[in-house]
Amino acid sequence: MSRLTRSLSSELRKVRSTKLWWILAIVLGGYSAMMAAMFAFMFGAMFAQLGDAAPQLPAQETANMVYASVSTFGYVVPLLFGALMATGELRHGTLGLAFTLEPKRGIVLLSKSIVLLGFGILLGIAGLLGAVGTGAAVIAASGGDPVLASGETWLLVARELAAIGIWALIGFGIGVLVRNQAFAIVLALVFTQFIEPALRAGAQFWEWSAQLAKFLPGAATDAFVGASVMSSMSALDPSLPEGSGSLGIWGGLLVLIGYAVVAVLAGWALRWRRDVV
């Protein structure tokens, strides 16, 4: 057994020994189901009431926005998961034990990153079970087509899983940087639920700010996934300002990976290489 394999096994057992991952999986599944059902019902009611005056959105685009609720609104959950796993180790001193068993800290960092990416994908599966299951049912009940047989739908699902996994890595890097568990929780909630949505909405009124807003992490996530209620609001309500366009799938992926790499490497350079206290 190689040193990396032993470290991976140790990190896997460490995560599985806590309740955090499955509690957050339930939270993400329930939250995603609620948001998907709300938007599916809203779209169905809007199209029924407006009739011919309703925005002419294809069934695939409507379903994509509903199913993308996991990445549009739920990315805070893997962010919290990664941050809490990092700050929890620092708080309880288990990181020092990991370094004792495996002196090469780069191996420990790599194994933690791989394990957190995997558990982030598991969180994404829980979220998608809620969003797709509930969203498809509400769309069908409203007389729409949930397009579950479409390959485009399942490509979107695959991109969401990748995005949620990357967000767990971003959270891990932030957790290593800030060290304080309470501060990490507050920072994640305030940024994802208040600061970034406000910045993205306000930035659309000026061309220069709209161009910058495309590089915000949530906007990059929406671009990579390929669908989002937030990025399509102008199509649903013509009175709203049009967005400046997204980065595209590959551009969004590169920016999102960039955030993860910067967060993890910054944690490595500023915190991880120091003595654990």
Mean pLDDT of the 249-254 span: 94
Residue the block writes with tokens 């495309």: 214
The Cα 132–Cα 2 span in angstroms is 40
State residue 36's pLDDT score. Answer: 93
Q: Which of these, 218, 171, 214, 177, lies nearest to 194 by C-alpha position?
A: 218
Confidence of residue 154 (pLDDT cuts 50, 70, 90): very high
Q: Which of these, 49, 82, 52, lies nearest to 164 by C-alpha position?
A: 82
Polymer length of the chain: 277
Mean pLDDT of the 18-30 span: 93
The Cα 43–Cα 36 span in angstroms is 11
State residue 228's pLDDT score. Answer: 84
In terms of average pLDDT, the best of 3-12, 18-27, 86-95, 101-110 is: 18-27
% residues pLDDT > 70 (the chain) = 86
Instruction: Please return the burial class of 239, using the count of CB atoms within 10 Å of its CB with bins 0-12, 13-18 and 19+.
Output: exposed
Judged against a pLDDT cut of 90, whether residue 5 lies above it is answered with no
